[in-house]
Amino acid sequence: MNHPLPPETSDVPLAPGERLPRTQREKLSPEAIAKIQSIAAQFPDRMAGTLPALYIAQKEFGFLSLGAMKEVAAALGVPEGHVFGVATFYTMFRKKPVGRYHFEVCTNLCCALNGAADLLAKVIEKTGARPGEGPSPDGLWSVDEVECLASCGSGPCIQINHGVFDEFVDEAKLEALMDACRRGETAAWGE
Amino acid sequence: MAAIRTKPDPQIYTFEGFGSSRYPNLMLRGAGELDNWRLQVYTRKWEGYEACRKALKMEPAAVTAEVKASDLRGRGGAGFRTGMKWGFMPKDTPERKVTRYLVCNGDEGEPGTFKDRAILEYNPHQLIEGMIIAGWAMQCRTGFIYLRGEFSWLIDKLEAALQEARDAGYLGKDILGTGWDYDILTYRGAGAYICGEETALLNSLEGRRGEPRVKPPFPASVGAFGQPTTVNNVETLAAVAPILRMGGAAYAELGTPGNTGTRIYGLSGHVKRPGLYELPLGLPMDFILNDLGGGSSTGRKIKAVIPGGSSAPVFDAKDFDCPMDFDTVKARGSMAGSGGMIVMDESTCMVQALLRLTHFYAHESCGQCTPCREGCNWMEMILHRIEHGQGRPADLDLLASLPPRINMRTLCPLGDAACGPVESFLQKFRPEFEYHIEHKSCMAGAKSILPGVLAPA
């Protein structure tokens, strides 16, 4: 059964104190729709295209608003409620905007034993963004704490957009990485 | 421009004897070499796809028999016999009625476990070759490699390796003139540890929430898209080509009876030489820790080791002589699990370590089963107040009373996984927890390792 989502202007909260922000875009591009449909056609069931389609939408919209989820549902021909359920289940689907460079700091045990707390504090200090609170005022940085990034042997570890960086033995490496981001040498989120 | 790892992985170490017949290097071959993922390197240096050619000349049942003869046990954690698992796939059903699938579980999300990443990054063709052999043995039509979402930087490399295999005729239509059509697709998860559980993985692969399914029916009869499916770990499938190449019996001579072959151990935490070590099963833990890992990285004594990924019950110093194989580790009260060994020195506060792990399980519970969803949060809440100086004398008994109410009462083993650390930490390091409650401070006296969400406000 299709459970349609409320219109995007709805004031119904998702969780106490939380609402899905709106994106500036309203529609998926024709290329994105074509890509979603070609991916879905690879699988025996179109629904299997949901996760790849949400990634494509996330890239187009910057994050997944209700409008983005509805677009995905329409492109795949699956219920909107299903897409909403999937998008809200997985942590990598962003329901809020992130900065141009999104820092995900692993704070799980192996990284924690090797100084993840100090690293996180340095990232917060240098970027001016706080975990879970959206981008820094200049829109350049955002920070989140994440669970294991499978770099346990060389932690503490940070993922910046699609790159994993580990072995943070000193502050200089973090500085160098941030400089590389400022110079545009690391892919911006959504690129 | 995408971010690119520009240097060989620093985590892979070698030691005297490594690569010899005693310690053969079967799965980490060429790991750390940046061009090792290319087909031409794999073919030229590592006899690539020879095992595949050999297998395709054999009857599918004979390939399964060879894997059975090797006595290979699944490297994902449970240690189930791979040949037996392959044997569960229905054989005589006509293809127009069923499509058999092979799924490679690359959702490596357990803290302390980082072995599959090295195979995917440096040896993807060995995995692909293993999947072709497994696909032939079970007469599958399609294979899926389900990768955790955070491995987005690996997908491109894996796709390129798959394309190389297609171009060389190892995948696609009429593979090597056998008349058999088979291809492998990648699928990227989106950040849920629970998707490492096979039925949750199948739900995720179908584009749904990664919630585990009720078993039975088991995936061998009703798996991906309602069809017979076998789910194997990356390391398990990467071991298949060496087995076919050297023969099941020769592979079974490595390791110990019942725990054959080599496996990749990951050393992390307070250890001088953290990294990946491929070793025959059954070597003692203190050999891996001290002779290979170099012992403690801090100069302090090692207090505890989690032997097989974060869900394995912790070992204290009296268990460090334990041979690292599935059966002995289990007999000593823990599990060999994924082979990820987390080392903690004596400055580690065990309350903090347990709180960090329990937070992980509470965060990653899919929420489907009440004992796991509520129990993990409850355990975290109790540990949080003990750590932050608000512990009550009755808290330890309350905490100890929770695992029996979660264990074996959920659809999947995530609840059990959360209980293993809690039970074992309490059993082996109870005085530290009592000290915390009584003195509102830490017995180890070290600086807090807890970041952000868990640190006191």
* Residue in chain A lying closest to B352 (CA): A109
Of the partner residues B185, B193, B209, the one whose CB lies closest to the CB of residue A147: B193
Q: What is each CA distance from B280 to B10, B26, B147, B275, in whole angstroms?
A: 22, 10, 26, 16
Which ranges of chain A have pLDDT less than 50? 1, 9-13
- Reading the block at residue B298, the tokens are 């801090």
Find where tokens 């119904």 sit. Answer: A12
What pLDDT is attached to residue A8?
Answer: 53
- Is the Cβ of B107 closer than 8 Å to some Cβ of chain A? no
- Overall average pLDDT of the B212-230 stretch: 93
Residue A7, min C-alpha distance to chain B (Å): 23
β-partners of residue B185 are B144
- Reading the block at residue B433, the tokens are 């927890």
Phi and psi angles of residue B39, each rounded to the nearest 5 degrees, phi first: -60, -40
Residue A131, min C-alpha distance to chain B (Å): 8
Q: What is each CA distance from B101 to B95, B221, B237, in whole angstroms?
A: 12, 11, 14
Nearest residue to B181 (alpha-carbon basis) of B196, B166, B192: B166
Strands B302-306 and B315-316: antiparallel
Q: How far apart are CA B292 and CA A66, in angstroms?
A: 52
* CATH architecture group of domain A7-89: Orthogonal Bundle (1.10)
* Residue in chain A lying closest to B272 (CA): A153
Of the partner residues B112, B185, B204, the one whose CB lies closest to the CB of residue A42: B185
Q: What is each CA distance from A139 to A18, A156, B49, B345, in whole angstroms?
A: 21, 25, 49, 41
Q: How many residues does chain B have?
A: 457
Contact residues on chain B for A51, CB-CB shorter than 8 A: 187-190, 204, 207
Give the range among A54-68, B10-24, B57-71, B257-271 with minimum mean pLDDT: B10-24
- Overall average pLDDT of the B345-365 stretch: 93
CB contacts under 8 A, B 248-277 vs A, are 266-270, 274-276
Contact residues on chain A for B452, CB-CB shorter than 8 A: 107, 117, 120, 131, 145
Yes or no, beta carbons of A150 and B116 under 8 Å apart: yes
Confidence of residue B452 (pLDDT cuts 50, 70, 90): low
Q: To which H or E segment does residue B418 belong?
A: helix B414-439
CB contacts under 8 A, B 37-56 vs A, are none
Residue type, A134: G
- Overall average pLDDT of the B400-424 stretch: 94
- Overall average pLDDT of the B392-413 stretch: 94
Q: Would you state the torsion angle of the CA atoms of residues A115, A120, A125, A127, taken in this order, to the nearest 10 degrees?
A: 130
Yes or no, beta carbons of A113 and B110 under 8 Å apart: no
| Neighbour-count burial of B401, counting CB atoms closer than 10 A to its CB (0-12 exposed, 13-18 middle, 19+ buried) | exposed
Yes or no, beta carbons of B449 and A51 under 8 Å apart: no
Peptide bond into B216 cis (omega under 30): yes
* Residue in chain A lying closest to B114 (CA): A150
Find where tokens 């107040």 sit. Answer: B385
* Residue in chain A lying closest to B211 (CA): A89
Yes or no, beta carbons of A49 and B448 under 8 Å apart: no
Of the partner residues A43, A49, A150, the one whose CB lies closest to the CB of residue B113: A150
Confidence of residue B456 (pLDDT cuts 50, 70, 90): low
- Overall average pLDDT of the B133-137 stretch: 95
The answer to whether B341 and B335 are in contact (CB under 8 A) is no
* Residue in chain B lying closest to A151 (CA): B114
- Is the Cβ of B8 closer than 8 Å to some Cβ of chain A? no
- Reading the block at residue A130, the tokens are 């706080």
Phi and psi angles of residue A101, each rounded to the nearest 5 degrees, phi first: -120, 115
Residues 6 or more apart in contact with residue A33 via CB below 8 angstroms? A75
Q: Same CATH topology for A7-89 and A101-182? A: no
Contact residues on chain B for A102, CB-CB shorter than 8 A: none
What pLDDT is attached to residue A19?
Answer: 67
CA B9 to chain centre: 19
Nearest residue to A156 (alpha-carbon basis) of B399, B18, A146, B148: A146
Q: Would you state the torsion angle of the CA atoms of residues A69, A74, A75, A77, taken in this order, to the nearest 10 degrees?
A: 120
Q: What angle do CA B80, B102, B174 make, to 5 degrees?
A: 135
Give the range among A54-58, B2-6, B120-124 with minimum mean pLDDT: B2-6
* CATH architecture group of domain A101-182: 3-Layer(aba) Sandwich (3.40)
**SS3 state of residue A93:** coil
What pLDDT is attached to residue B1?
Answer: 29
Yes or no, beta carbons of A162 and B344 under 8 Å apart: no
Tell me the whole-structure pTM to 2 decimals.
0.92
Yes or no, beta carbons of A155 and B268 under 8 Å apart: yes
What pLDDT is attached to residue B434?
Answer: 95
What pLDDT is attached to residue B4?
Answer: 34
Convert the pLDDT of each residue in A112-143 to its tens digit. Answer: 999 899 999 999 999 999 888 888 988 899 99
Q: How far apart are CA B381 and CA A74, in angstroms?
A: 42
Q: Domain segments of chain A: what residues?
A: 7-89, 101-182
Confidence of residue B381 (pLDDT cuts 50, 70, 90): very high
Convert the pLDDT of each residue in B294-320 to its tens digit. Answer: 899 999 999 999 999 999 999 999 999
In the annotated binding site of A, the residues are 106, 111, 148, 152
DSSP per residue, B289-306: IIIIT-SBSSSSPEEEEE
- Long-range contacts formed by B311-314: CB under 8 A, 24+ apart: B311/B77, B311/B110, B311/B335, B311/B337, B311/B413, B311/B416, B311/B417, B311/B418, B311/B420, B311/B421, B312/B336, B312/B337, B312/B420, B312/B421, B313/B420, B313/B421, B313/B423, B313/B424, B314/B421, B314/B424, B314/B425, B314/B428, B314/B429
CA B90 to chain centre: 26
Yes or no, beta carbons of B111 and A109 under 8 Å apart: yes
- Whether B369 shows a pLDDT value over 60: the answer reads yes
Q: How far apart are CA A34 and CA A16, in angstroms?
A: 37
Confidence of residue B326 (pLDDT cuts 50, 70, 90): very high
Convert the pLDDT of each residue in B95-113 to its tens digit. Answer: 667 899 999 999 988 999 9
Percentage of the residues of chain A whose pLDDT score is greater than 70:
87
Of the partner residues A112, A145, A153, the one whose CB lies closest to the CB of residue B267: A153
The 8-class DSSP code of residue B346 comes to: T
β-partners of residue B340 are B266
Yes or no, beta carbons of B188 and A109 under 8 Å apart: no
- Reading the block at residue A79, the tokens are 């219920």
* Residue in chain B lying closest to A114 (CA): B269
Strands B302-306 and A101-106: unpaired
Of the partner residues A117, A153, A162, the one whose CB lies closest to the CB of residue B455: A117
Residue B366, min C-alpha distance to chain A (Å): 8
Yes or no, beta carbons of B150 and A107 under 8 Å apart: no
Q: Could you give the ipTM of this predicted complex?
A: 0.91
Of the partner residues B210, B344, B451, the one whose CB lies closest to the CB of residue A89: B210
* Residue in chain B lying closest to A189 (CA): B2
